[in-house]
Amino acid sequence: MEILGIDIGGSGIKGAPVDTDTGALLAPRFRIRTPKPAKPKPVAETVAEIAQHFDWHGPVGCGFPAAIRKGVVLTAANIAKKWVGTDAATLFSKTTGCPSLIINDADAAGIAEMTFGAGRDQQGVVLIVTIGTGLGTSLFADGCLLPNTEFGHIEINGKDAEVHASDAARKRKDLSWKEWSKRLDRYLHTMEQLVWPDLIILGGGVSKKHEKFIPRLSVQAEVVPAQLLNEAGIVGAALAARSLEAVVD
């Protein structure tokens, strides 16, 4: 099945049609900068622009940087507060003219990695951390997703972990890889004490440079880089939207 996957991030909104049987992008991804401020109407219009770019009329899956329940946005850490309580699924469906499903962005990336990437066929507890503007997390037990974990917002030194250990924090503080690795390691140790994963998969754009920090980590769990890198959110959002097939048919 072919589904348009869209990944809504703090700095950019990107999408591409996806073959959900193979996880392959069927066209080069198209990216537009995230509107500032990232309020519902301009974000929805940007999503519609991406759909129009591909002349898309089928189902759409969107990874969104918030906790999501039945298409409704519950939190707003890295987006405008006006999103809280918004039925994003209905909004995007109306704006694009396509049936749309909304899922937490880190959960989308996790689904992709568990289906086609570093977590494929992995049993036990798998923690996936997407490192970018914030810290996104998804948690799987024997392949089953526990949605909306949002563990990037646990407190370290009285602050959200992502303020301390995200890639944005690394850039903002101009930290060396060694300095930033210590921060990330502390975060992962905290997560290990909470959920005791068998495997930790680190994704997001920074995972392309995994050799600079993964060897410096000291957690007990095996730590590996994500395999789908920046395509994970797009692919996972499309996979999550496979349930819309009946709506289209």
Same fold, 2-107+231-248 and 121-227: yes
User: Strands, E, within 71-208: which ranges?
Assistant: 72-73, 100-104, 125-131, 135-141, 144-146, 155-156, 159-160, 199-203
Mean per-residue pLDDT, 232-241 = 97
Burial class of 51 by CB neighbour count within 10 A (0 to 12, 13 to 18, 19+): buried
Can you identify the CATH homologous superfamily of domain 121-227?
ATPase, nucleotide binding domain (3.30.420.40)
> Domain limits of the chain?
2-107+231-248, 121-227
User: Over the stretch 205-231, which tens digit does the pLDDT of each residue have?
Assistant: 899 999 999 999 999 999 999 999 889
Interhelix angle 88-96/40-53, rounded to 10 degrees, is 40
pLDDT of res. 249: 43
Span 54-62, average pLDDT: 97
Confidence of residue 26 (pLDDT cuts 50, 70, 90): very high
- Region 146-170: mean pLDDT is 93
Checking if the pLDDT of 62 tops 90, the result is yes
pLDDT at 245: 62
According to CATH, the superfamily of the domain at 2-107+231-248 is ATPase, nucleotide binding domain (3.30.420.40)
